[in-house]
Amino acid sequence: MPESTKIKVVNPATGETFEEVPTTTRKELDAATKRARSAFGEWRGVSGLERAEIFHGISRTLLEHADELAETMTKEGGKPFIENRDEVDWTAACFDYYGEVARDSVGYLPAPIEAEQLALVIKEPVGTVACIVPWNYPLLLAAWKVAPALAAGNAVILKPSEETPLATRRMAEIIEGLPDGLLQTIHGAGDVGDMLVRHPEVDMVAFTGSQETGRKVGMVTAERLIRANLELGGKDPFIICDDVDIEVAAQGAVWAACLNAGQVCTSPERFYVMKGVAGEFLEAARSHVESLNIGDPMEKATDIGPMINAAGRAKVESHVGEAEANGAKVVVGGGRPYERGFFYEPTILTGVEPSMAVMSEETFGPVIPVVEVGGLDEAIAHANSVPFGLGANIYTRDFGNMLRCMREIRAGTVWINDPLTDNDAAPFGGQKGSGIGRELGREGLEAFQESKHVHIDPRVEKKEWWYPYGE
């Protein structure tokens, strides 16, 4: 590994570099893993009640620094300040939740084979966990991994995206109460991530990112026979039935598609609208899009900020351009509102086909491609037609429709009449090509635990089923 270089942190609203962060060398990573192993030995002996108190303290500290952290995230990531401020609240809530769960996560007692015996299942930590998180929600997606990993008794080495290292670094700096070395951050791009995943002192990897990188992580962890949790994005469907308030459904659809400029793994990217209300939906969605403020993400009035970088915007432009070239129509948007920064207008498309990239590949931008469907059967078939299965959204008043979508759509989360609402107490993750494993809820804690079965017979005596069989 070469000597440390520096990551240039760019403000997406201006396109200008405003800070540099040294990348982590192999020597520094070796030292970090040694500190983690030492801290792990100390931390695993800390009681659940003590861990809970520490976690609640972390939550309070995050809230005390909420404006500072939100401003940093806005400068490095471009998400509007109001959304980043909410992200800090959600991050704090995640630590609160796992602080309480940590108090009763030591295992359980299954029924023994014989009445005089005792059977225990003990939940133990894995060891040192590498957490690799993306740039779109740098603190929240870190907390979804870090909080349960620590609650389970592990040490954590956290690598934020090279696009957004600053808020994560600051969060680690202000967290108090943990043994020295239990939570450490390292910095760099894919080469540093690869070095981390391959490091012999790393016992597990928790990763959120693209399918392409996730496959590479999965291959390395499989070769090393260590555990991996992989959240690999989606191409979420959004179904609008003809029995709802279309104005509400349109506003919900636009918000879900354009939140963080569409750069959310659960952003809906395919919209299936019942034919009888498709025209009304398009008009309501177009009107709502035209009312949105695009601009400086630090301004209170801003609804949509810039995309993360030029490459991200270029991918969106490519998907929209290819669709247009093959017969799709831009209803609204489709351009760059400013010369400076990486802004892109929210865009509604009609006339799209399943073969188009905008309908089959993850776009990760503020694009709403709309397809008219004749009924729920057709909508569900379209929803299940891609190799992703992270989330799905449905608007309907019909309870039968709700049950059908819940049962028949292959997705890790199904939101009905309330898009993109996450719950710390419920598991999050994907089916099919959207990943392996779950975050949040008790499943999210168990992802970072090993199960050990202990069988106890207090009697020391010969068993009747032992050798010799002939007696």
Which residues, in sequence order, are CB contacts of 434 under 8 Å at separation 6+?
231, 232, 233, 234, 388, 389, 390, 411, 412
d(CA 176, CA 93): 17
pLDDT at residue number 104:
85
CA angle 79, 83, 89 (to 5 degrees): 130
Task: Please give the average per-residue pLDDT across 401-405, as a whole number.
Answer: 98
Nearest to 271 by CA among 292, 246, 290, 291: 246
Q: Which residues contact 378 (CB under 8 A, 6 or more apart)?
A: 272
Among residues 162, 231, 269, 345, which one is catalytic? 231
Digit-coded pLDDT (tens) for 329-346? 999 999 999 999 999 999
Arithmetic mean of pLDDT, 47-71: 97
Q: Quote the radius of gyration of the chain (alpha carbons, Å).
A: 24
Count Cβ atoms below 10 Å from residue 267 Cβ, excluding itself. 31
Q: What is the pLDDT of residues 244-282, one digit of tens each?
A: 999 999 999 999 999 999 999 999 999 999 999 999 999
Pairing of strands 204-208, 183-185: unpaired
Beta-carbon contacts of 101 under 8 Å, excluding residues fewer than 6 positions away, are: 148, 151, 442, 445
Q: Name every residue whose Cβ is closer than 8 Å to that of residue 461 and which is 6 or more positions away in sequence.
A: none
Per-residue pLDDT tens digits for 285-320: 999 999 999 999 999 999 999 999 999 999 999 999
Contact 18, 6 (CB under 8 A): no
The single residue of 265, 269, 362, 439 carrying the catalytic annotation is: 265
**How much is the pLDDT for 1?**
43
Q: Is the pLDDT of residue 3 over 90?
A: no
**Mean pLDDT for the chain?**
97
The whole-number average pLDDT for the span 455-465 is 95
- Phi then psi dihedrals of residue 362, to 5 deg: -70, 120
C-alpha 25/C-alpha 3 separation (Å) is 6
Query: Does residue 70 carry a pLDDT above 90?
Result: yes
Reading the block at residue 408, the tokens are 């028949």
- Cα separation, 155 vs 413, whole angstroms: 29
CA–CA distance, 228 with 214 (Å, rounded to integer) = 10
Q: Is the pLDDT of residue 27 over 90?
A: yes
| Residue environment code for 149-161, b if the CB has 16+ CB neighbours within 10 A, otherwise e | bbbbbbbbbbbbb
Bridge-based pairing of strands 227-231 and 128-132 is: unpaired
The burial class, CB within 10 Å (0-12 / 13-18 / 19+), for 50 is: middle
- pLDDT score of 288: 98
Active site residue 71: no
Beta bridge partners, 435, equal 231
- Chain centroid offset of residue 293 CA: 26
- Angstrom CA distances, 227 to 108, 314, 322, 428, stand at 22, 35, 39, 18
Residues 6+ apart with CB under 8 A from 64: none
User: Long-range contacts of range 334-340, CB-CB < 8 Å, 24 or more positions apart?
Assistant: 337/294, 338/295, 340/13, 340/14, 340/15
Alpha carbon distances (Å) from 365 to 253, 265, 339: 14, 10, 18
Predicted local confidence at residue 2, as pLDDT: 47
Residue 241 contacts residue 401 (beta carbons within 8 Å): yes
Strands 347-350 and 204-208: unpaired
The amino acid present at 279, given as its one-letter code, is G
- Predicted pLDDT at 4: 66
pLDDT average, residue stretch 412-432:
98
- DSSP result, 396-449: -S-HHHHHHHHHHS--SEEEESSTT---TTS-B--SGGGEES-BSHHHHHHTTE
374: nearest Cα among 241, 272, 275: 275
**Segment 72-117, tens digit of pLDDT:** 999 999 999 999 999 999 999 999 999 999 888 889 999 999 999 9
Rounded to whole angstroms, how far apart are CA atoms 238 and 285?
13
Is the pLDDT score of 424 beyond 70? yes
Active site residue 446: no
Domains and CATH numbers, the chain: 6-232+440-455 (3.40.605.10), 236-416 (3.40.309.10)
